Structure 1
Amino acid sequence: MAEVGIAVRDLQFNWPSGAKAIKSCSLEVPRGEFWMLLGTNGSGKSTLLRLLAGLLAPTSGEIRVLHPVGFVFQNPDHQLVMPTVGADVAFGLVEEKLPPATVRARVEEALGAVNLQSLQRRPIYALSGGQKQRVAIAGAIARQCEILLLDEPTALLDPDSQLDLVASVHRLVKTRGITALWVTHRLDELNYCDGAFLLDNGSLVDRGEPLRLKQRLMEVDKAAS
């Protein structure tokens, strides 16, 4: 049986108001695979991702994830804090108290993995949206994260940059054995993943082969129109 990178059992999460955001959700993502989390706005996708990242505490249930965990926000400006590309990637290593030579090697290797090595000294403000997202991913690689959680990372990108980013993450998963869970509502992104989950109103209603789920959602959209 394949080792599991992310495991959730009977997870529930209620907001302080009492509103149920996640309702008894159970799922597994095999280690070293790239899965996507689908659903309409308000279905609970981002809430579930934040629970997995430890940014929210569950009301009940069990969460098991490999560590370290990297989280990539929809808007990279919410997590890039240093003035240059190299400095931002290095910033995430401060707590490890590594020798400077090790930090430099980790930064260079991580930027090479996302094809940004030549931009190490580039100011963050001078980057495109897609480049900023790849800097955020490089930060997780530098920290040697086992799990990569991405909350609609292509939402603010143009179509070409969207597919370039999802292809980059797919390549990283396959070459480095990272386990990734990517939140999206873009059906074309399903072409790059190993499997997908479908959330509806806080409940997991389907899971499995991405092309089957893509076809299901296309039929739903067609019926709605």
Structure 2
Amino acid sequence: MKQSAIRVHDLNFSWHPNGTVLDACSLSIPRGEFWMLLGTNGSGKSTLLKLLAGLLTPQGGEIDILQPVGFVFQNPDHQLVMPTVGADVAFGLVAEQLSDEAVMERVREALQAVNLLEFQRRPIYALSGGQKQRIAIAGALARHSEVLILDEPTALLDPDTQIELVAQVRNLVKSRGITALWVTHRLNELDYCDGAVLLEGGRIVDQGEPERLKQRLMQH
């Protein structure tokens, strides 16, 4: 049995007394695997991600997740804060109080992992949407994140770039032994993952084999 990188048991969360967002959610994502989270708008996906990333506190239940966790937003412009690529990737390392040499090495390694090493001095504004998402992922890799959580990272990208990004994240998971949970509405992206979780009305209603979940959703 593989060790879990993410384990959630009986998770509950609501914004106000009558508005339960998550109700007794339980799921387990094995270490070193690429999983996807599916569900309609309003099913609780974004809230679950924010709980996993530590941006919200659960009102009941348990979350056990490998640290550090890297969170990649749907819109990279909400995440990239520095004027150049290299500076932005380095920005997330400030709290670690590393030497300048160690920071530069982490930045180079992370940019190489997303195939953007030659973009180190490039201004952020000059990047395409797909490149910005890869820089956001590089920022998480530079912090040596064990778990990547990606909130519909292909939502703003064109179809070719969408598939490039999902394939690249799959390669990173497999080559670096990290774990990723990726939110999507696109059933073709399920072809790249190891497993999937289906969230409906704040509850996990199915999890497991991506092909089976894909068939289930196509029949709806």
Q: Give the alignment's TM-score, normalised by structure 2.
A: 0.99
Counterpart residue number, 1:91:
91
Counterpart residue number, 1:36:
36
Aligned amino acid, residue 100 of structure 1: D
- The 2-side partners of 1:183 and 1:196 are apart by 10
- The 2-side partners of 1:174 and 1:27 are apart by 21
- The 1-side partners of 2:190 and 2:46 are apart by 18
Q: Deviations over 1:190-219 (max 9, x none)?
A: 000000000001010011100111111111
Deviant stretches of 4+, over 6 Å:
none
Counterpart residue number, 2:185:
185
Are positions 1:163 and 2:163 aligned together?
yes
SS at match of 1:10: strand
Aligned amino acid, residue 51 of structure 2: L
Counterpart residue number, 1:60:
60
Are positions 1:3 and 2:3 aligned together?
yes
- The 2-side partners of 1:195 and 1:32 are apart by 12
Counterpart residue number, 1:223:
none
1:118 offset after TM fit, Å? Answer: 0.6
Counterpart residue number, 1:131:
131
Aligned amino acid, residue 189 of structure 2: E
Counterpart residue number, 2:117:
117
1:59 offset after TM fit, Å? Answer: 1.0
- The 2-side partners of 1:196 and 1:134 are apart by 22
- In structure 2, runs of 5+ residues without a counterpart are none
Counterpart residue number, 2:104:
104
SS at match of 1:37: strand
- In structure 1, runs of 5+ residues without a counterpart are 221-225
1:11 offset after TM fit, Å? Answer: 0.2
Are positions 1:13 and 2:10 aligned together?
no
Counterpart residue number, 1:69:
69
Aligned amino acid, residue 97 of structure 2: K
Q: Alpha carbon RMSD of aligned pairs, Å?
A: 0.6
Q: Give the alignment's TM-score, normalised by structure 1.
A: 0.97
- The 2-side partners of 1:37 and 1:45 are apart by 7
1:17 offset after TM fit, Å? Answer: 4.9
- The 2-side partners of 1:177 and 1:52 are apart by 19
SS at match of 1:9: strand
Q: How many residues align?
A: 220
Q: Percent identity?
A: 71
